[in-house]
Chain A
């Protein structure tokens, strides 16, 4: 992927989103009886989003042209974005999604205790013993602080059913 390609993609997405807001706002009435209607603000923000989204593409295009014009051998010092390997991130996001999906079944603490255990033991390869200890420790700590001390009615899943029995 070329250096500016992500900016072109981001710009396209923002322009599309801005257009969707602007067009969607028309059904609510942008101007009603000479005054602004409920659709005015979504219309204005949609138009602004599309405009600034377009500017991002223009900025990227100017950068690309300048880069091509630069004589060979001259390299620009990158100002910041560090590349992050996307593999582990996708795994962490995926596992977090599974943990959230499991909340109604296993309850909040067990789901996130399992998430911590799996992340530590398998994703970070710290060994299953440490993973298990941290998972159990995290779940118990969270239960003590949030459910017992702060009285937050966190979903308990099967534990709720078991307690009723």
Chain B
């Protein structure tokens, strides 16, 4: 009963005119940002985060979360219409979505994407409401050793955000941890690596780093690439046929469930969820040969999955303080800026904020559906804007955001410096999300490590007496070493088979 009353309170908090308005602005901006190739959800949230600092924390978080799931749908529009995914989670939608657009069925493809997102959003929000208190209740028993293990698991999970090289992902996580040590040590008050610079005493602010690594570096990488020409499609008929709906309904349910649980896992995220659900549908289909040639379920399933994964990613973020995706890592930073520490106590201490935010996801999904069904053609016309005219404005927004963090030029310089670093990282395949995660979790990691060391009288053998911590460490080890072991076993098995055949 208490849960229901908290949920109702959450809806009441989310349905105030101000919060409703900012939710609308968030999903609208998110859709536009998602449409623009190269501007992902993390970048969108990074650029607009400083501008929400003057808002009430719940209002700001509602808007930022709106941007997050709004970008997912915006990215779908550009995937379907110009075969250019605005976000990695919509790459797989491109396969069948673009084929449908070429067959003159862009309208139904976008409609099923909006409906799939909404329905999967509904399923996953129900799962989120059920699972968040369970997670938080479980994590309430965590002490410093478990926190150390949990942060290690979160950092191990970052390699899921990364591209091809695990070593690069892990190195970037370590770089984030190293950067987090710059400034005054919270325990002893000793200034570390400040080189006499007053500005460095407070440490390197993660927000300026986020703007630099995501927004500025992203723009620079896109410079001179430009966007493609949109294909001309008529949007006269946005209505789905009965056959389209019949083929899509079960993939939506399956995609929603798969997406949610993959979203919960740190590092797995929306991209993996979309690929996996597409694969599941292809395997289950009676006519798998239609996939890749314009199958409606090839759009419905991944769209349901990536939207559900967004909600799933909030479970570890809100209840454990460990982000489930790159964008929730940025959002975790937003919580900290507002003086809120996500973790098991957040649900207990700030129930209105947590449930208000979760309720806003539902409202935001509804707004997204109402907005996108009739307005998809209007959004699509944004794709006609040339990137060469757009990026100077994105730079302006990014640097003004960097200035607004503390109202001083230091933030602008930091964003510029990390923009240069981020450009080279991007160019040579070093992922940015682990740096942010390391930087954000570094403080908590160090504090918990220090407390664990005190608990054990200077020894870390205390970890051996904590089964949950050991299990979390084992899981982290499995994430890092699992693929290497699997590859080794496969190679050995291959050699053995070859020998037998000889």
Contacts and interface: CB of A to CB of B under 8 A. Distances in A.
A68 B449 CA distance: 45
A38 B427 contact: no
A96 to B, nearest CB: 6
Given A42-B193, A126-B389, A146-B400, A84 B224 contact: yes
B192 A34 contact: no
A89 interface: yes
In which size bucket is the chain B interface?
Answer: 35 or more
B54 A49 contact: no
Contacts of A152: 400, 403-404, 407
B185 A38 contact: yes
Interface string A28-49: 1001011111111110111011
Given A84-B221, A97-B416, A100-B413, A52 B174 contact: yes
B392 A55 contact: no
Interface string A138-165: 1000100010001111110000000000
A23 B297 CA distance: 56
Interface stretch (B70-78, B250-258, B451-459): B451-459
B363 to A, nearest CB: 25
Given A18-B178, A34-B457, A124 B389 contact: yes
A73 B167 CA distance: 30
B220 A42 contact: no
A90 to B, nearest CB: 10
B393 A116 contact: yes
A119 interface: yes
Interface of B is mostly: helix
A115 B164 CA distance: 36
Nearest to A14: B171
A123 to B, nearest CB: 8
Contact of B192 (A38, A48, A119): A38
Given A40-B449, A49-B178, A53-B171, A84 B225 contact: yes
Given A45-B178, A46-B178, A154-B400, A52 B171 contact: yes
Contacts of B193: 21, 24, 42
B306 to A, nearest CB: 20
Contacts of B392: 115-116, 119-120, 134, 138
Contacts of A103: 409, 412
Interface residues of A, number: 67
Interface string B56-83: 0000000000000000000000000000
B9 interface: no
Interface of A: 6-7, 10, 14, 17-18, 21, 24-25, 28, 31, 33-42, 44-46, 48-49, 51-53, 55-56, 58-59, 79-82, 84-85, 88-89, 92-93, 96-97, 100, 103-104, 108, 112, 115-116, 119-120, 124, 126, 130, 134, 138, 142, 146, 150-155
Nearest 7 Cβ contacts at the A-B interface: A34-B458, A52-B171, A55-B167, A48-B174, A45-B177, A45-B178, A116-B392
Interface of B: 51, 54, 163-165, 167-168, 170-171, 174-175, 177-178, 180-181, 185, 187-188, 190, 192-193, 220-221, 223-225, 388-389, 391-393, 395-396, 399-400, 403-404, 407, 409, 412-413, 416, 419-420, 423, 427-430, 438, 442, 445-446, 449-450, 453-454, 457-458
27 contacts: A10-B428, A25-B192, A36-B453, A40-B446, A40-B449, A41-B442, A41-B445, A42-B178, A44-B177, A45-B174, A49-B174, A52-B168, A80-B164, A88-B223, A89-B223, A89-B423, A93-B419, A93-B420, A100-B416, A108-B403, A112-B395, A112-B399, A112-B400, A119-B391, A120-B389, A142-B400, A150-B51
